[in-house]
Structure formats: structure tokens, C-alpha cells
Amino acid sequence: MDWLWVALLAVVPLVGLGLALGWSRRRPRRPRVAAPGAPPAKLREGLLATRRRLADQLQAALGQTSGDAVLAELEDALVTADVGVRTAAELVGRVRRRIGRDAGMSEVGPALREEIATMLRTEVAPEPSAKPWIVLVTGVNGVGKTSTIGKLAALHRAAGRRVLLVAADTFRAAAIEQLAVWAERSGAELIRQATGADPSAVVFDGLKAARARGVDVVLIDTAGRLHTRTNLMEELRKVRRVVMREDPTAPHETLIVLDATTGQNAVSQARTFAEAVGVTGVVLTKLDGTARGGVVIAVRHELNLPVRYVGVGEAIDDLRPFDPGEFVEALFEPETPARTAAGAIS
């Protein structure tokens, strides 16, 4: 009978290995998401157009003969960079109070840099503390909302969390299909229904599934037709009520996705959505290459909304948590030591 024991001892490890391989194939793979780097090269590249425009105009401003003329030109430069009229006036007022009217011209750039950093300062984004942690994602069509949800899912998956995407933008078949692609890419699960289904019903099914499956994070995609249409806002309010009925503490975050290339229109979009569904944070996309990166400052100041994430590209790891210090560094960093305009504001 010794040969039976030998055979058994040889087979057991093979069976165990087969089960382990089978289990690993069934488990969703975590996406390979690069850790945020320092310094953030893609953020610097994304703000290149804004930085160049601001640097050139600041150089012109610093060539004025009086302090008042310098500050007037400074305000115009900020407005041109899509910081917004109100925010630009506030920043210039802070700089004036900080350095005085007769201060040396070399003090203007550093003072502006510090005041922008102060204005952008915000609390740290909340970590998921409930299970499931429910996030409602809003925004008009074309801002990159669906891809942002996929990238958010990848960030959570990289942190070891189980993620469920809910395709509640049922008015566009493309939105459902796109979300399915991003679910596969990020390793998230997906709840969807047919095009034209009641968004609130999809959300209800999604939250039930999340609890049954022990999901950690639920990301809900919502419809994004023009923000001026009342029916869209009513639909979003209905979705929010369904979420609150299932969990009175939810949604734990309501994010609005804004396109940086739209400049001040992004501020008006955020204001409308905030009034309708209580936005708690902003995701700014398409920051790669736009000359309107100053809108980040306008959103923070005019709406008192924290910027949670910025998108600097199309790859799955091109969404990064917003860091005010990194942003200001990328906005003011000289391109080359020989660049006079950049040197003036560094």
C-alpha cells in the first residue's frame, strides 16, 4: 500500500496548484496604475499653455512704471488666463495689501504665487468610511465624465477596494457601452440596463447589488445633457432621493466633472449642478494643453468647492488627486533658466 501514499502525496500539491490558478483567473485583475510622481511632469505639461500666457503678460505688467499700473496689468493677465473677473480682483487686492503700492516689482510674482496657493488650500479628500461608499458623478455631456469614472475606479482598485459602476446615464447607449469598457479596463464590476431605462431604477438595483456583493465603492454615472435643461436637474434630484432612501448618509461624495477648456462656462455649470444636487467636489478634466488652467482657481474661490482630481491625459492613470502645492508649482515653474518672463514670476 506504500505506493498509494506516494501517489496521493504527488497528486495533492497538483490539485492545490490547479485550484489556486483557477481562483486567480476568476478574480478581477487590479489595473496597473502608476503612483503619483514628484514632480508631476504631466501636470507641468498640461499647464504649459496657461503658464506661457501668464508669464508673458506678467512680464509686460512688470514693465510698467508705477505700482498701480503693474497691478492693473496683473489683473488683466489673470482674467485672460480664465481666473475670472471676481477672482482676479480678489487676488490683486490681496497682493496689494501684502506688498503695498510702492513695493519693488520683484515682489509681485512671489506674492501672487503665495496668494494663489492660499486661495486653493482645501481640506484633504475624504477616504471611504462607509460600506459601500457611494459617489454620485455629474456633469454635462462631453466633459469626460464616463472616462473619469473609469479612472476613479482604477484609483480605488489600486487601493485594494472592490468597485461597482452603475450605468445610470440611460439616455445615451454610447454612455453605457463606454462605461462597460472602463469597467473591464479598471477591474470594476458593472450594473446596467437597456437604453432608455429609468435611471433611478438602475441606481436602486446597483445599490442592492453592492450590498449583496460586499462592494466597497459605488460610482454612479448620471445623465449629462445640457445643464440649462430643468428636466435633467429633476432627474438628478430623483436619483439622489433614491440613493438617500437606501442610505440616509449617502451620497458620500457628489462630484461634478468640468472641462478645463470651457473656461468660465465651467464655473456656471458647477454653480447650476451645486444648487440642484449639492456638489461636494470638482474633477477638472482636459487640463493637458489648455490655456485656461486658471479656471481651477475660479472654481475654488467663486463656488467654495474643493478640486478633488485633475485629468492630464487619456491614459487610465492620468487622473491624479489635486494638490494645490503641485498646481502652483506647475503654474509658475520656469521652463528654462534663460526664460526672462518665467524668471520674473518664479
pLDDT, residue 79, reads 85
- Cell triple for 270: 458647477
pLDDT digits (tens, 9 = 90+) for 83-134: 889 999 999 999 888 887 665 567 787 888 899 999 998 777 788 999 999 9
Whole-prediction pTM value?
A: 0.80
- Cell triple for 302: 467663486
Higher pLDDT among residues 112 and 16, named by residue: 112
Burial profile 232-242: b = 16 or more Cβ within 10 angstroms, e = fewer:
bbebbeebbeb
Beta carbons within 10 angstroms of residue 216's beta carbon: 19
CA dihedral 138, 140, 142, 144 (to 10 degrees): -20
What is the pairing mode between strands 319-321 and 307-311? Answer: antiparallel
CB 189 within 8 A of CB 219: no
Confidence class for position 343, pLDDT limits 50, 70, 90 = very low
pLDDT digits (tens, 9 = 90+) for 300-318: 998 899 999 988 878 888 8
pLDDT, residue 61, reads 64
Q: Per-residue pLDDT averaged across 50-57, rounded?
A: 68
Nearest to 313 by CA among 33, 120, 116: 33
Give percent of the chain with pLDDT exceeding 90: 37
Confidence class for position 29, pLDDT limits 50, 70, 90 = very low
pLDDT digits (tens, 9 = 90+) for 172-183: 888 999 999 999
The mean predicted confidence, pLDDT, of the chain is 80
pLDDT, residue 201, reads 95
pLDDT, residue 205, reads 97
Confidence class for position 216, pLDDT limits 50, 70, 90 = very high
pLDDT, residue 23, reads 40
Q: Per-residue pLDDT averaged across 40-63, rounded?
A: 68
Give percent of the chain with pLDDT exceeding 70: 73
Higher pLDDT among residues 282 and 49, named by residue: 282
Distance from C-alpha of 80 to C-alpha of 51, rounded to nearest angstrom: 12
pLDDT, residue 322, reads 87
pLDDT digits (tens, 9 = 90+) for 141-189: 888 899 999 999 999 999 999 999 999 998 888 899 999 999 999 999 9
Q: Name which of 230-234, 290-294, 298-302 the model is least confident about.
A: 290-294
E-assigned strands of 185-271?
189-191, 217-221, 253-259
